[in-house]
Amino acid sequence: MKLLIISHPCATPVNQQLYAEVEQITGWELTIVTPSNWKNEYGKVLHPERWQDYQGKLISIPVWNTGNIPLHLYRSPFIPLLQELQPDVVYVHHEPYALATAQVYFANHFSIQRPIGFYSAQNVFKSYPFPFRQIEQRIFRESAFAFPVSHSVEEVLSKKGFARSTILPLGIDPSVYCPHPDAAKISHSLKAAPDEVLIGYLGRISEEKGLRTLLHALKEIEALSWRLIVGGAGPYEAEFHTIAQSLQLTSRICSLGFIPHAEAPRYLSAFDLLVLPSETRSHWKEQFGRVVIEAIGCGTPVIGSDSGEIPYLIQSTNGGLIFPEGNSAALADGLKTLILNPKLRETLIHQSRPRVLHDYPHCSIAHRFIQTLESVVHS
């Protein structure tokens, strides 16, 4: 079977890993189309490279409005490409309201008319202005399938009248997200005292990530032995450090800056616990929180807010504690519980890591992906 994938995330090689798994399982002929000039959330322009295990075609095309998910457009018509490749099914790894999605769908409609589907991570119900609302509704009508990333995204699609969906969560590579041999050495280098418990935060430094709440929670447990390790960058960095200074917590915080994806397992393995204090806003709530399953894979329990998909991941794996978002007192209580109970941290990982390794490796996600596409094509 021939599968065509259009995906701006695949400008980052690791995001091709799922499709490498699909190739290995099925022997399908895959083609990935991705922007040649995609700008990531940190403003860096990415030039696509091939993931080491991906063997299919990788076609890069320049886009207008690079880095803008709803407004980017490929600078090349898709009809000639569709006619040349003749795929059996087309997967557009973009939101259904995006211009690039419409671009591919229209080309498919006016040429080969193959089964086609989309991706979504939009877990907040929004009514879009013209022409995006009309684009979304047309995409719904023409789609044979969709892959929402979470249960809350599937609920949004259902409320909008689309029901042909299969939840496709983000996955991990168990050979990468596992306890790292350097963990003890890194942990030792980050601690100011041997008995300190390392509380890790790994992610974008932005206001909606709940870092203000985290700092106020840490102030409440200042008497305990802990150190906060922050890995990430973003627009809230200056404000974060200002608040930390006003609370006299600066000496208890180690900021590592942006951590490349490949380095994340080393630090996740070194943390004693991970905190994910995201807070819902009118336009946003945590879409998935992959760092939850990455941390558990590395042997680190999690305390997370009840924003978006975070509580589902923690409850379904039993890998940590949940607190009401924005509630610094509840977060302080949860942190105190985990800091003072190393056996509880061990128990949480003992019961959650096998579930993560069963439900979230790329091979498991790939099987779900394959089953959906096979049923669509054969029907």
The CATH code of the domain that includes 129 is 3.40.50.2000
The pLDDT tens digits of the residues spanning 322-358 come to 999 999 999 999 999 999 999 999 999 999 999 999 9
Question: Residue 322 is part of which domain span?
Answer: 183-359
Nearest to 228 by CA among 262, 184, 241: 241
Q: Does residue 279 sit in the same domain as residue 315?
A: yes
Q: Does residue 188 sit in the same domain as residue 167?
A: no
- Find out whether 321 and 349 touch, Cβ atoms under 8 Å: no
Q: Look at residue 261 and tell me whether its pLDDT is greater than 90.
A: no
Q: Look at residue 377 and tell me whether its pLDDT is greater than 80.
A: yes
Query: Distance between CA 190 and CA 203 in Å, rounded?
Result: 18
Domain-located, residue 300: yes
| Contacts with 113 (C-beta within 8 Å, 6 or more apart), sequence order | none
Domain-located, residue 219: yes
Query: Distance between CA 81 and CA 198 in Å, rounded?
Result: 51
Distance of CA 69 to the CA centre of its chain: 15
- Any bridge partners for residue 285, and if so which? none
Q: Look at residue 42 and tell me whether its pLDDT is greater than 80.
A: no
The pLDDT tens digits of the residues spanning 198-218 come to 999 999 999 999 999 999 999
Q: Does residue 368 sit in the same domain as residue 297?
A: no
Give pLDDT, residue 72: 97
Q: Does residue 56 sit in the same domain as residue 84?
A: yes
Domain-located, residue 122: yes
Exposure pattern of 64-92 as b/e (b: 16+ CB <10 Å)? eebbeeeebebeeebeebbeebebbbbbb
Domain-located, residue 178: no
Query: Distance between CA 110 and CA 363 in Å, rounded?
Result: 35
Q: Does residue 52 sit in the same domain as residue 188?
A: no
Q: Where are the alpha helices (DSSP H) in the chain?
A: 17-26, 79-85, 99-109, 132-142, 151-159, 183-190, 211-220, 237-246, 264-270, 290-297, 310-317, 328-340, 342-359, 362-378
Q: Does residue 318 sit in the same domain as residue 332?
A: yes
Q: Does residue 290 sit in the same domain as residue 305?
A: yes
Give pLDDT, residue 379: 87
Q: Does residue 193 sit in the same domain as residue 320?
A: yes
Assigned token pair, 242 = 């200002």
Q: Does residue 247 sit in the same domain as residue 148?
A: no
Q: Does residue 121 sit in the same domain as residue 215?
A: no
Q: Look at residue 111 and tell me whether its pLDDT is greater than 90.
A: yes
Q: Does residue 130 sit in the same domain as residue 222?
A: no
Domain-located, residue 159: yes
- Any bridge partners for residue 89, and if so which? 3
Domain-located, residue 38: yes
- The whole-model pTM stands at 0.92
Please give the backbone phi and psi of residue 369, each rounded to the nearest 5 degrees, phi first: -60, -50
- Find out whether 93 and 5 touch, Cβ atoms under 8 Å: yes
Residue 80 identity (one-letter amino acid): P
Domain-located, residue 336: yes
Q: Does residue 17 sit in the same domain as residue 144?
A: yes
Domain-located, residue 93: yes
Assigned token pair, 202 = 């790994």
How many domains are there within the chain?
2
Residue 92 identity (one-letter amino acid): V
Positive or negative CA dihedral for 102, 107, 110, 111?
A: negative
Positive or negative CA dihedral for 183, 188, 192, 193?
A: positive
